[in-house]
Amino acid sequence: MNATSVTAPAADTGQTPSRPVIGVLALQGDVREHVAALASCGAEPVLVRRESELAAVDALVLPGGESTAISKLLAAFELLEPLRARLRDGLPAFGSCAGMILLASEVLDTRPDAEHLSGIDMTVRRNAFGRQVDSFETDLPFAGLPGGPVRAVFIRAPWVERAGEGVEVLATVPDGPAAGRIVAVRQGNVLATSFHPEVTGDLRVHRMFVEMVRSA
């Protein structure tokens, strides 16, 4: 998939663009699914692999995939420090599964050389629910989303072990051995989910993020 052309928002007017330009980090993982979901929610999705592309977006999605591989690719593509800087400056971001791990301020059960972005003050445990064979789906109550529970798909998913002050917990596992574990959070303009809303066809989480970007 080719990157869509980017038009920078009109910063001098103070107006929020009706179609915010939202980048999808396109180094590894389920990129196309997020692109399709964002387009369906009224955003202009673009692929981000370079610092110049990162500089041109209003927000960024960090997709699911393999968090250690993505962190190494961020360093190889010289995106790690520019992305940290933009997050410190208030860039809205949404991370699903591996993206949640990357956005954490602390990661448990990961490799010593793995990098993270400290976009949300939280401690995340990698592969917390188990291996690939332990993947599962459940109906998940999600704060702030109308229309009832979200169908959540967990694939080698993390969970949040510590949510810092100022972090809003949006969803926890409702039942089973992992009942009460935190699986969706928001801090300011940054949103993260343990699960993959991009694979179910339910666009409500993406709509929430697009509205966050419009309001940022």
Please give the helix or strand (H or E) that residue 62 lies within, else none: strand 59-62
User: 137 among the known binding-site residues?
Assistant: no
Let me know if residue 147 belongs to a domain.
Answer: yes
Q: Is there a domain that residue 8 lies in?
A: no
Residue 17 is predicted with a pLDDT of 54
67 annotated among ligand-binding-site residues: yes
The answer on whether 65 is annotated among ligand-binding residues is yes
- In a domain, residue 169? The reply is yes
CATH number, domain with residue 37: 3.40.50.880
Segments forming the whole domain that contains residue 29: 21-215
pLDDT at site 177: 85
155 annotated binding-site participant: yes
CA distances (Å), 36 to each of 41, 66, 145, 150, 206, in order?
Answer: 9, 20, 20, 18, 10
Residue 9 lies in a domain: no
In a domain, 148, yes or no: yes
Model pLDDT, residue 18: 82
Q: Do the bridges between strand 159-163 and strand 120-125 make them parallel or antiparallel, or are there none, so unpaired?
A: antiparallel
Mean pLDDT by 10 residues, the chain (216 residues): 37 57 96 97 98 98 93 95 97 97 96 91 93 78 95 94 97 91 98 96 97 95
For residues 192 and 119, give the distance between their C-alpha atoms in angstroms, rounded to a whole number.
Answer: 10
Q: Within 13 Å and on the Cβ side, how many CA atoms surround 212?
A: 25
pLDDT at 134: 61
**pTM of the full predicted structure?**
0.89
Q: What is the pLDDT of residue 172?
A: 97
- Cite the active site residues: 97, 196, 198
Into how many domains does the chain fold?
A: 1
